[in-house]
Structure 1
Amino acid sequence: MNDAGLGFRGKEKGRWPAAVRRPGSEEEGPWFVLKMAHPVAEGHLWEHLICKCPERLVVVVAVDALRYGDVHISRGVSWEQTASDVHWELLQNSKAKSLACCAYVVVSFPTVGAFLLSRRRADSDPKEMKPEGRIFFDPEHIEDTWAEVHPGSMVGYTTCMAAAIAYKIATSDQVDIHVISDGVQAGLRAQRALHENGYVERRRGDTLVGLAPPYTAVAKAIRKAVSELQFSYAEMPEQQPREQSSKGQSSKQSSNARPGWWTILKERYKDEEQDKEDALLRVATEIVQEGPEEALKHVPLARFERLVTVDRREIEGYRNVRRLIVDYLQRRTATVPLSIAVLGPPGAGKSFGVRQVARSVSKDIRIIEFNIAQWTDPEELYEALQQVRDEALSGKIPLVLWDEFDCNLGNVKLGWLKYFLAPMQDGYFQRGGHRHPLGRSIFVFVGGQFSSMKELEEESSRSDSSNAGGSKVRDFVSRLKGYVDVIGPDPIPATKSSSEHEEDRGDREDKEYVLRRALVLRNILEYHAPHLFSKRDSKDLPIAPGVLNAFLSIPEYKHGTRSMEAIVTMSLLAGRKRFERSCLPAEAQLDLHVDGKEFLKLAQNPAVGTPAEKTSC
């Protein structure tokens, strides 16, 4: 049934099909697939179906139809956040919770993903079963990002999803979550077929008589074999509620608290808990040798030009920053700088990351960088702000990297912060008794002392009354519009909270650091040693497994990603077709960046999971 909110859901039951008026009882009777439009979960048709046959009802609804009804679902942050939002809203929001009484609810994110809430399982009574969530997703895209590559929109995405699910039900002996899941996969393929083919011309002879949906292409996509599926999926874990409300304020645990922190990456390897480190090391090996798109087919990853990350915290941070920049560029009337902070340990790749994000938005953004640690007088800051003003007056929007903004000014801790407050808040700076408007610009504050926003905020509470730095930190943070905590290539200490979500992570041991290292190493080698990828268009990297093991397994890089890059550029790779152990620098040179003896020892052993044909050194 296609309920477009145009009157079919009203009181005139005589217009409803006989099967709807007399739907049977309990397990006897037909299955109903209801494509629902805004306003959701309203009307006589809905009340009739949810009362008479909820155990045989499948609802298909577009995510924007829910959003129009004051259902809060984040857009384009991460698939984990999306799944958590939909799951919570369907179960707790009074405007949508009746949907959760159905056997299955499918929330469609056209062309990129879908969320399935299920109350039915072969071994469970649907009336007593706790709702289970499953997120289907494109690992390389999220809402809006696929549309950037494939611009435009079509009418009929949700119809494609409903048609695919109906087809799978109609051609199956029994209906279970596997059938519905197959329908969701087919629906996503059908949505892409609709988008990519567009409407086709209907002709009578040589005369154009109208347009029609691409029925043949859509039907072909729905009938595709299961082995050709291109979308991944993940089950939402059973979680304890977070002890924070959605506003971040402390609250008592309750059944309606939002779910805690989880990652699809961690869920992917939860069944291999005993050998999780070995499993992650195998994946890291594949990332370096074959590329992230090949090795990480079933987990979300984000790419911004040369930057690739698989860590949920970084994905959410960078995507939020990118959205802020895009929105700022579109607001022509903005006169106050957009202020963003990027924090992380030294050598984490903070400046590199934000540069790549900016370039993914527009190649025309002018990037200017100042290292505040080299300054000794506020007059130098005013000269820098004048450069920013000149750039803005030329018609360009400068993106200014204020590197090490959190350094001391003389003996004053965080002494530079107070000089940024007026430019951040009012968009001007005072010099020589005159006010100088800055114009449109983007300020990115790159930290050098604090590894996370949480650490920076804690600094204000540690400051006593004799140190004004504490209040300036609060004033500074209040002017920020967003931030990113960059993690870096080394494991996060188990006793250290890297973000506000740390207490939600359960197992605090950071085992995913090998994946971060693998992504960085692959990027560095593609940039500094492209000749190693000898075959044209080849993504395979010839590297000795022992060398790879050393890069991935060394306990610590003294200077973060800078150390990884230094070891690669110090290695004798010119004219080589393979990264051998003999290419590595001497132990004394390695000691600048790692424990040289330990690094060379690790290089004697192949990495876990390296294929036999690639183990020769």
Structure 2
Amino acid sequence: MNDRNFKIVVSGDICINSLQWITEPKSSKGLNWQTHLNMHSALKPGESLLLAKLVALATGTSVISPQIEDIESNLSKEILRSTAELELFSVHGSGKNKDKVYRVKRFLGFTGPVSGMPKLLPIVDDNINADIVIIDDENNGFNSNKDFWPLAIKSIEKSPIVLYKMNNPIGSNALWKHLEKFHIDKTIVVINSDDLRSKGVNISKSISWEKTAQDFVWQVNNNPNLAFLVDCHHLIVPFGLEGAIYCTNKGKTESQLYFLPSEFEGESLKETQGKMYGLTSCFVAGLARSIALENSNNEDLSISIGEGIREGIVAAHKYFINGFGRDVEEYEFPNPSIFVRCKNDTLQKELVQDVKIPNLSANYYSHWYILRDKSSTNLAEIAYDIVKNGVKSALKFIPIAQFGNLQTVDRTEIESYRGIKNLMCEYISKKNTVRPLCIAVFGTPGSGKSFGVTEVAASIAPGLIEKLNFNLSQFRTLLDLISAFHRVRDLSLEGKIPLVFFDEFDSAFEGKLGWLKYFLAPMQDGTFREGDSIHPIGKAIFVFAGGTSTTFREFCGEDIKDENDNKKFLLEFKAAKGPDFISRLRGYVDILGPNQTDPQWDQLFIIRRAMLLRSLLERKVPHLISDDGKAQIDNGVLRAMLKIPRYKHESRSMEAILEMSMLTNSRKWEQSDLPSREQLRLHVDEEQFLRHLMHDAFFSEKIESLAKAIHERYRMLNSDLDPDFIVPWEELSEDLKDSNRDEAKNIPNCLRKINYDLVSVNGNPSFIEFTQKELEILAENKHMHRYRYRKDDDWKYGRVKDHKKKTDPALVHWESLPEEKKNKTYEMVKVWPEILAKANFKLERVKSLNTYDY
């Protein structure tokens, strides 16, 4: 931006950051001090002084602000000082790149004035006509000292855009009351999410973007600590370096989530990468860049804020990556490159996605998926794309959680696995822990209970955690369990953290749930008894995998509806020490697997199948993945693997079908490579599987009969037309027959627009009637398909329909089609379910992601 008439004022609390770092001796010769570790220090601007420099770099303007010409010479003891210890850290968290930069190892604290408030500085050449005022309020005195406020906001006659970076989110300070009274329309409040949490605002962290977003919406609407923001027109809350929420209130509150699909809050900053101060300030500078640019062109403020959030997220990333450079004394800080777009940047602005946060009722709180709102296609098409082109290609704009080899986009699984990961991370980092971390995992046999938790653990500490497996249904006496505890203890004494799977822990032993009571002491005290001896187990992670219960609710009896049955279960559960066992658990996961768990809520099962199938192809038969990442798989095989209603043994069945197929020397997974019907019967309903497999062939066989049926319907509706068009099928020209065949072939594509799929069945099924809205969508699609077909066949618009001259008065876009023609198109479409049923095809509803099915 080079508009010299655009004026920006930056002010706020003042702080100087004192940086300290140590370097190795440069030589073994010379003066004595040169042969020892060298201690370095430097003074850098902080708070509003740093923010002013960042805004100047971001906007390219000469920012009006407080100034200290020479920090080293003119630093007053009355000015607040922050001290931080620096160290060299890897530029990127992977550690693959050997390049290192200085970042903060630890913050050592503040040095304040001997008495009174920290010193504030006046704005040099303040301008009452400022277009943008940016305030850094760190709650160190500026918000209560009106003498230092910018003239543009002290004047009630001016209306600048105000960017208010608020560190202490309370509504009692004088500055906020002034802004609320005189400048609220154009005030944009920026509050860091961790600052909100420190004030008792309960927003989940690093679980899922959906949960974080909905927690935020609930807190804004209900938390009294945020009541002072009720009239705030623009509120922005950054969530780490990975996302932000923009909340607007112009009579109606609406919230928009901006996020990085491949990251969750806090994931960009690894412990091994150090820390940086000023991240939120850099975000605000990126935001100011967009607002200044767009508003100098008189753009809508909300639009420029949205673009500014993207700018801010990218800028904060680059600011962190650059740190203080390889040489603190030589590096220009802050660096101008932060706001210069480069092709080599690890993060591009286009990768930052946004989605509107719905105000869902409590009943549907957990059923909002970003995947639903970010996709314009139905689930089946997304699933096909995942298998064909890979997860990252098909879902590059959707939140994906990855734990080792496990990938998931299902919100329920993401939240469960991330909850377990957070528990494990916290447990591993703690010292002197005497009891095991206990979690439970439920799911149907073959759903992948062991795989999921193992991959989560491996993603945290692959060299430290070692897995042990024990199946309690195979234990015959208590001595078997004691022997298992000894193996756990031995591994712990070796310095490892055992990841211990107790499979089928809910199996019978001395009665129903008989093993539970023998785990209570080890879970609570971290010890086990052998005769008169008590042995410590050591640090370990116990994973209790259900065998008879497929969900946590089922294990607890929460799904039992009958009152008498419920009472009986609770008595037995209490006698088996079930409540005591649950009280010692710290988390649980319900593994969903590739089968549908609930007809109403679980619509993402086909996505789980697709991701599992893609993973199996990559791991088991990588030669079927081409160099450009495309899976070589027949459409019929793909359809059958994804659309079969149920796998008898969940993921094991999917894997078995792949392994039984003859693919060693194949270049593509063809239908002929599949196992025999008898082998398929072990894992699926082979009749249903083969019908899905042969769907395209079945439909191709019916094209001719469907085309005839379409033509007969056309004849009935258009008896007044040229005889050339309404003759019986046998007398129709080949060109017109082909036109009808093409329309028949297009029926499945049209049906997918209203989320219907065709399923081949035995016999003639009953058929449905389309709703008016569905008819309108189908009719428009049918007409436009015919329009394009005829255009390609050199037809053109004409006032009279003439087959020889290839003219047609209906060869116009749908919007221009006369109502009479539209009505006839509706009538043509209405007959589709009937003619399809006669051809042994049933219409089956498939779930769409862009509509809520509540």
Fold match, TM over 0.5?
yes
1:457, 1:329 → 2: CA distance?
29
1:165, 1:585 → 2: CA distance?
58
**Does the alignment pair 1:262 with 2:387?**
no
**Does the alignment pair 1:512 with 2:604?**
yes
SS of match in other structure, 2:225: coil
Q: How many residues align?
A: 554
- Comparing both chains, which one has the higher relative contact order based on Cα–Cα distances under 8 Å and sequence gaps of 6 or more? 1
Structure 2 counterpart of 1:36: 166
Q: Is the 8 A contact 1:38 1:65 kept in 2?
A: yes
Structure 2 counterpart of 1:248: none
SS of match in other structure, 1:566: helix
Could you tell me which amino acid in structure 2 is paired with residue 22 of structure 1?
Answer: S
Residue by residue over 1:156-184, the C-alpha shift from the partner in whole angstroms, topping out at 9 and shown as x without a partner, is 22122212222222222133432211111
Closer, same or farther in 2 for the Cα pair 1:379/1:165, shift >3 Å? same
Shift of 1:509: 4.1
Give the counterpart of 2:692 among 597, 602, 609: 602
Shift of 1:148: 3.2
Structure 2 counterpart of 1:613: none
Q: Is the 8 A contact 1:134 1:235 kept in 2?
A: yes
Give the counterpart of 2:397 among 287, 294, 298: 298
Shift of 1:471: 5.2
Give the counterpart of 1:185 among 310, 321, 325: 310
**Does the alignment pair 1:568 with 2:658?**
yes
Shift of 1:261: 4.2
Residue by residue over 1:398-424, the C-alpha shift from the partner in whole angstroms, topping out at 9 and shown as x without a partner, is 1100111111125x2211111111111
SS of match in other structure, 1:182: helix
Give the counterpart of 1:389 among 484, 489, 496: 489
Q: Is the 8 A contact 1:414 1:469 kept in 2?
A: no
**Does the alignment pair 1:141 with 2:263?**
yes
Aligned pairs for 1:356-371 within 5 A: 356-364=455-463, 365-371=465-471
Shift of 1:59: 0.9
SS of match in other structure, 2:273: coil
1:11, 1:444 → 2: CA distance?
54
TM-score, normalising length: structure 1: 0.85
Structure 2 counterpart of 1:251: none
Range that drifts further, 166-175 or 73-82: 166-175
Moved over 6 A (4+): none
Could you tell me which amino acid in structure 1 is paired with residue 536 of structure 2?
Answer: P
**Does the alignment pair 1:234 with 2:375?**
no
Residue by residue over 1:104-131, the C-alpha shift from the partner in whole angstroms, topping out at 9 and shown as x without a partner, is 1110123211111112xxxxxx2xx221
Q: Is the 8 A contact 1:463 1:470 kept in 2?
A: no
Gaps of 5+ in 1: 120-125, 244-258, 495-507, 610-617
Residue by residue over 1:264-308, the C-alpha shift from the partner in whole angstroms, topping out at 9 and shown as x without a partner, is 123335xx6xxx6xx111111111111111111222111001111
Range that drifts further, 509-518 or 454-463: 454-463
Structure 2 counterpart of 1:157: 279
Structure 2 counterpart of 1:500: none
1:238, 1:216 → 2: CA distance?
40
**Does the alignment pair 1:85 with 2:215?**
yes
Aligned pairs for 1:282-297 within 5 A: 282-297=381-396
Structure 2 counterpart of 1:249: none
Range that drifts further, 136-145 or 35-44: 35-44
Shift of 1:62: 1.4
SS of match in other structure, 2:354: strand
SS of match in other structure, 1:370: strand
Closer, same or farther in 2 for the Cα pair 1:419/1:601, shift >3 Å? same
Structure 1 counterpart of 2:721: none
Could you tell me which amino acid in structure 1 is paired with residue 587 of structure 2?
Answer: G
Structure 1 counterpart of 2:676: 586
1:466, 1:330 → 2: CA distance?
39
SS of match in other structure, 1:95: helix
Aligned pairs for 1:94-113 within 5 A: 94-113=224-243
Closer, same or farther in 2 for the Cα pair 1:102/1:317, shift >3 Å? same
Could you tell me which amino acid in structure 2 is paired with residue 213 of structure 1?
Answer: P
Structure 2 counterpart of 1:450: 549
Aligned pairs for 1:286-365 within 5 A: 286-364=385-463, 365=465
Gaps of 5+ in 2: 1-133, 561-565, 698-747, 750-854
1:192, 1:210 → 2: CA distance?
18
Give the counterpart of 1:76 among 206, 214, 232: 206
1:442, 1:260 → 2: CA distance?
28
Could you tell me which amino acid in structure 2 is paired with residue 605 of structure 1?
Answer: H
Q: Is the 8 A contact 1:23 1:30 kept in 2?
A: no
Residue by residue over 1:497-528, the C-alpha shift from the partner in whole angstroms, topping out at 9 and shown as x without a partner, is xxxxxxxxxxx242211101001111111111
1:261, 1:93 → 2: CA distance?
23
TM-score, normalising length: structure 2: 0.62
Range that drifts further, 66-75 or 171-180: 171-180
Could you tell me which amino acid in structure 1 is paired with residue 534 of structure 2?
Answer: R
SS of match in other structure, 1:423: helix
Closer, same or farther in 2 for the Cα pair 1:287/1:470, shift >3 Å? farther
Structure 2 counterpart of 1:247: none
2:278, 2:327 → 1: CA distance?
18
**Identity percentage over the alignment?**
37
Range that drifts further, 378-387 or 161-170: 161-170
2:537, 2:178 → 1: CA distance?
61
1:23, 1:220 → 2: CA distance?
38
**Does the alignment pair 1:539 with 2:539?**
no
1:102, 1:202 → 2: CA distance?
43
Shift of 1:199: 3.0
2:571, 2:161 → 1: CA distance?
71
Q: Is the 8 A contact 1:339 1:479 kept in 2?
A: yes
Residue by residue over 1:547-567, the C-alpha shift from the partner in whole angstroms, topping out at 9 and shown as x without a partner, is 111111000000000100111
Range that drifts further, 34-43 or 79-88: 34-43
Q: Is the 8 A contact 1:234 1:264 kept in 2?
A: yes
1:191, 1:138 → 2: CA distance?
13
Structure 1 counterpart of 2:289: 167
Structure 2 counterpart of 1:21: 154
Range that drifts further, 139-148 or 467-476: 467-476
Q: Is the 8 A contact 1:549 1:606 kept in 2?
A: no
Give the counterpart of 2:595 among 482, 490, 513: 490
2:572, 2:277 → 1: CA distance?
60
Shift of 1:449: 1.6
Shift of 1:441: 0.8
Could you tell me which amino acid in structure 1 is paired with residue 361 of structure 2?
Answer: Q
SS of match in other structure, 1:588: helix
Residue by residue over 1:2-51, the C-alpha shift from the partner in whole angstroms, topping out at 9 and shown as x without a partner, is 32325453333221111111144xxx722111111135444211111012
Shift of 1:488: 1.0
**Does the alignment pair 1:62 with 2:62?**
no
Structure 2 counterpart of 1:253: none
Closer, same or farther in 2 for the Cα pair 1:462/1:523, shift >3 Å? farther
**Does the alignment pair 1:9 with 2:142?**
yes
Give the counterpart of 1:402 among 472, 485, 502: 502
Could you tell me which amino acid in structure 2 is paired with residue 159 of structure 1?
Answer: S
Shift of 1:426: 1.2
Q: Is the 8 A contact 2:153 2:159 kept in 1?
A: no
Q: Is the 8 A contact 2:573 2:579 kept in 1?
A: no
SS of match in other structure, 1:444: strand
Could you tell me which amino acid in structure 1 is paired with residue 182 of structure 2?
Answer: K
SS of match in other structure, 1:212: coil
**Does the alignment pair 1:195 with 2:294?**
no
Closer, same or farther in 2 for the Cα pair 1:281/1:394, shift >3 Å? same
Q: Is the 8 A contact 2:632 2:669 kept in 1?
A: yes
Shift of 1:464: 5.0
Shift of 1:341: 0.4
SS of match in other structure, 1:101: coil
Over the aligned positions, Cα root-mean-square deviation in angstroms equals 2.5
Range that drifts further, 429-438 or 209-218: 209-218
1:168, 1:186 → 2: CA distance?
7
Q: Is the 8 A contact 1:200 1:214 kept in 2?
A: no
Shift of 1:228: 5.0
